[in-house]
């Protein structure tokens, strides 16, 4: 594959780089560079800047306010964002439910929801997994029973990332128990301020509070908030998951982390010499770099196919599998390179403006939390084991 950009794309790359460097707030950039905690207001500020530039939704059609960029422009944009340590915008609206709404939603739903997703005025979260329905999502039990012009929803969702930030949640709910399990599911859009919704945090092993359990007790949801047909929500869910899994690859993010890994290995001493001088460690870095380059080529192939009218198919599971494995490899190698400085975990050191004595090199405090947090990437969005089964069945025909 020829990765040489045309003159037009090179000019676009220069435009993007200049804009980001000139407009990304320095405090947010510093948080990203050092791996510090990103707050909702940080994401909202950066979202507003990109929205005012017209760059908030690279994938969306122009008719809905998006950029409708070709595959190369989207690739360049993602690369430049990662290079400058810009925070990722919340994917639940822009990448997940937004495309579902403009593809399958009513005109009223498009008018109500899309502008506020695009501007960042409303944050979304995802109501898919349940305590007894994670990888086997079709076994979900949250029920929505029609009652006049509303559904009455009861159940529990779990692993609802950033539910504490969200204004809206998109939910898979059971509206029928007849036939195949997949045929009795509907897709609802629910206001998080509706009475009967309670969010309880789940503190992760790295000390983070990004995921939650969300309880729904007699929550009244207007029938008009159902996307598409009743009992056909599995179709819309699969469409959404295809977009989610392709975005989990995070090639630009991994390339930035690889650059940081090489920097750590060149600076941190082990046995009186930099880690980068250890032949075994250099071999490990080379191995993950080769994997990352092949993933990059594969992602570009899928992006090009998408521009030719082929939506994300089962093949995107490959991006999810390899992308998350690489992310885990990179955090493991970063921990090894940093040595003893990677072990201390002081939550206060993850806050911007913390000015106590440093714990080893500047980014050392963020490595342990990153290592533990990235353990989950091979689980969310459908476990890697499930993705391998999908590949075997849908791609290889086994």
168 with 211, same domain: the answer is: yes
Evaluate if residue 353 carries a pLDDT over 70: no
In a domain, 112, yes or no: no
In this predicted structure, what is the pLDDT of residue 312?
55
Neighbour-count burial of 196, counting CB atoms closer than 10 A to its CB (0-12 exposed, 13-18 middle, 19+ buried):
middle
Evaluate if residue 244 carries a pLDDT over 80: no
Instruction: Say if residues 243 and 95 touch (Cβ distance below 8 Å).
Output: yes
Ramachandran angles phi, psi of 376, nearest 5°:
-80, -10
Please, where are the H alpha helices in 54-193? Answer: 71-83, 91, 98-104, 107-119
pTM recorded for the entire structure: 0.85
For 47-68, what is each residue's pLDDT tens digit? 999 999 999 999 899 999 999 9
Instruction: Say if residues 140 and 127 touch (Cβ distance below 8 Å).
Output: no
Number of structural domains (the chain) is 3
In a domain, 113, yes or no: no
153 with 69, same domain: the answer is: no
269 with 301, same domain: the answer is: yes
Any idea what DSSP says for residue 139?
A: G
State CA 51 to chain mean position distance.
19
Q: Which of 122, 244, 306, 315 is catalytic?
A: 244
Angle between helix 40-53 and helix 26-34 axes, rounded to 10 deg: 120
**For 296-321, what is the mean pLDDT?**
74
Evaluate if residue 227 carries a pLDDT over 90: yes
146 with 270, same domain: the answer is: no
The per-residue pLDDT of the chain, averaged, comes to: 88
Instruction: Say if residues 34 and 366 touch (Cβ distance below 8 Å).
Output: yes
In a domain, 111, yes or no: no
Length of the chain, please? 398
Evaluate if residue 351 carries a pLDDT over 70: no
185-191/168-174 β-pairing: antiparallel
Instruction: Say if residues 353 and 359 touch (Cβ distance below 8 Å).
Output: no
> Can you give the CATH number for the domain in which 263 is found?
1.20.140.10
**For 334-355, what is the mean pLDDT?**
73
Whether 244 sits among the annotated catalytic residues: the reply is yes
Q: Which domain holds residue 199?
A: 124-233
224 with 352, same domain: the answer is: no
In a domain, 102, yes or no: no
């Amino acid at each position: 594959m020829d990765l040489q950009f045309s003159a037009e794309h090179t000019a676009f790359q220069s435009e993007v780089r200049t804009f980001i460097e000139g407009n990304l707030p320095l405090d947010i950039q510093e948080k990203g560079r050092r791996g510090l905690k990103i707050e909702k207001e940080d994401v909202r500020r950066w979202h507003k800047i990109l929205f005012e530039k017209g760059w908030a939704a690279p994938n969306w059609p122009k008719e809905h306010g998006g950029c409708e960029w070709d595959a190369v422009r989207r690739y360049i944009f993602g690369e430049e964002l990662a290079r400058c340590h810009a925070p990722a915008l919340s994917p639940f609206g822009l990448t997940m439910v937004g495309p579902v709404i403009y593809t399958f939603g009513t005109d009223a739903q498009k008018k109500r929801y899309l502008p506020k997703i695009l501007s960042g005025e409303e944050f979304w979260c995802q109501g898919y997994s349940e305590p007894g329905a994670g990888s086997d999502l079709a076994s979900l039990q949250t029920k929505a029973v029609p009652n006049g012009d509303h559904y009455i929803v009861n159940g529990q969702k779990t692993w609802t990332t950033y539910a504490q930030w969200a204004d809206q949640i998109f939910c898979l709910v059971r509206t029928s128990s007849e036939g195949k399990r997949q045929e009795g599911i509907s897709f609802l859009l629910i206001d998080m301020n509706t009475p009967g919704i309670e969010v309880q945090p789940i503190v992760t092993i790295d000390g983070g509070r990004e995921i939650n359990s969300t309880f729904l007790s007699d929550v009244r949801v207007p029938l008009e908030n159902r996307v598409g047909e009743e009992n056909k929500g599995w179709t819309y869910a699969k469409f959404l998951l295809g977009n989610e899994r392709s975005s989990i690859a995070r090639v630009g993010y991994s390339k930035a982390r690889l650059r940081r890994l090489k920097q750590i290995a060149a600076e941190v001493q082990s046995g009186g010499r930099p880690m980068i001088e250890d032949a075994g460690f250099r071999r490990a870095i080379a191995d993950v770099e080769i994997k990352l380059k092949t993933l990059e080529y594969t992602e570009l192939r899928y992006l090009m196919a998408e521009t030719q009218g082929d939506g994300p198919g089962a093949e995107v599971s490959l991006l999810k599998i390899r992308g998350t494995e690489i992310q885990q490899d990179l955090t493991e190698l970063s921990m090894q390179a940093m040595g003893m400085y990677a072990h201390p975990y002081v939550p206060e050191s993850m806050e911007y403006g913390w000015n106590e004595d440093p714990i080893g090199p500047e980014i050392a405090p963020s490595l342990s939390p990153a290592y533990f947090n990235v353990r989950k990437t091979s689980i969310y969005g459908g476990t890697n084991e499930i993705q391998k089964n999908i590949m075997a069945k849908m791609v290889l025909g086994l």
